[in-house]
Amino acid sequence: MNLSNKEVIHIKSGNVEYLQFRRLLEYKEDITHAFSIGKQVDFRTIKKSNYDKALKDYEELCSCLGLDKNNIIKPNQMHKDNIETVKEKILNGKPDIYLEEYLYTDGLITQTENIILATTSADCILMLFYDPVTKTIGNIHSGWKGTYQEIAIKAVQKMQKDCGVKPENLICCMCPSIRKCHFEVKQDVKDLFEEKFKAKVDLNKIIEKRQDIDGKWNIDTVLLNTILLQQQGLKSENIINSEICTVCNSDILHSYRVEKEGFGLETAIISKNS
C-alpha cells in the first residue's frame, strides 16, 4: 500500500517506511522530518520490554534521514497541555527519552540546531510546526484531551512568546490520526466539546450524531484544530492535513481503536539542520 497523496509522500528505504509532507520538503535544506509507517515498528519507550526495540527503530529511521538518534528529545506525553521550549539536550550520547524534565509534557519547540523533537501516537494527532522566518520547529501531541485543552493554540502562543514567531508565518502539518469517520464518542465527551467550543466554533460540521447507533457521536478533531489554529492567526494554506485515517489504514498504521491493549506507536520527528 502506498499512502502518498497531494500532501504527503510515502517513502520506502529498505525495511524503513515513512511519510514526508510535500510542504515541509520545500525547506529540506533547513529542516528534516518524517512520520513512521509500518506495523513492524513500535516506538513505545515507556514499556521497558520494548525500549530496546524502540531505540533500534529510531536508529533505523534516523539513519535513513541522515540524523543521529542520540539527538532525540521525546516528551512523556500524558495527554496534558504542557509545552516545553528546548535549549539543549540533557543526556550525552543517548536520547532524552522518558526523563523527569519532560514528565507531563505533550509538546516541544526549539530553535536549536541538530535537536530531534519526537512524539508518538496510535490515533492521536501529531502536529509538526515550522516557521521559515525565525527557524523555529515544534512537535505537538494532541489526542482528544489535548484538543479539548487547546494545546495547539498554546503551542502557537508559546512560540510567539519564546521564539518571536508570527502566526501568519507558521506552518502546521497534521500527521495521520483517527478521523471523524472513526472517532466515535459517547454523550459525556460530546457534551464536553459542545460546552467548551460552542461559543468559539460552528460545531455543525465537527460533531455529528450517529444515525445507526443511539447515544454515539462522531467528532472531527482535525477540523476543530484547524479552525482553532486559523483563529490564532495561521493562514489556511499553511495548515496541512495529511488526510490519512489511522483506523482506515490500520493494516499499515498503528491504531489504539483497532489494536486495543496491545497497540503499538508511530513516531513523528522533526529537526533543524545545521
Q: What CATH number does the domain containing 260 carry?
A: 3.60.140.10
Whether pTM > 0.95 for this model: the answer is: yes
Within-domain flag for 166: yes
Tens-place pLDDT, residues 125-171 = 999 999 999 999 999 999 999 999 999 999 999 999 999 999 999 99
- Specify if 3 maps to a domain: no
Number of domains in the chain: 1
Residue 186 lies in a domain: no
- pLDDT for the residue 48: 72
Do the Cβ atoms of 148 and 192 come closer than 8 Å?
yes
Which bin fits 104, alpha (ψ -120 to 50), beta or left (φ > 0)?
Answer: left
pLDDT reported for residue 228: 98
Is 2 part of any domain?
A: no
Whose CA is closest to 27, among 109, 115, 107, 129? 129
Is 79 part of a structural domain of the chain? Answer: yes
User: How is residue 123 written as a grid cell?
Assistant: 490515533
Domain membership of residue 193 (yes or no) is no
Distance of CA 133 to CAs 82, 136, 163, 165, Å? 25, 8, 11, 8
CA 144 – CA 123 distance, rounded (Å)? 10
Determine the pLDDT at residue 213: 84
Rounded to whole angstroms, what are the CA distances from 3 to 11, 19, 248, 252? 9, 8, 11, 9
214 within some domain: no
Residue 212, pLDDT score: 85
Range of the domain at 26: 8-181+239-272
In the numeric block, the cell 536508529 is attached to 59
Please tell me the predicted confidence (pLDDT) of residue 60: 98
In a domain, 162, yes or no: yes
Point out the residues of the chain with pLDDT beneath 50: none
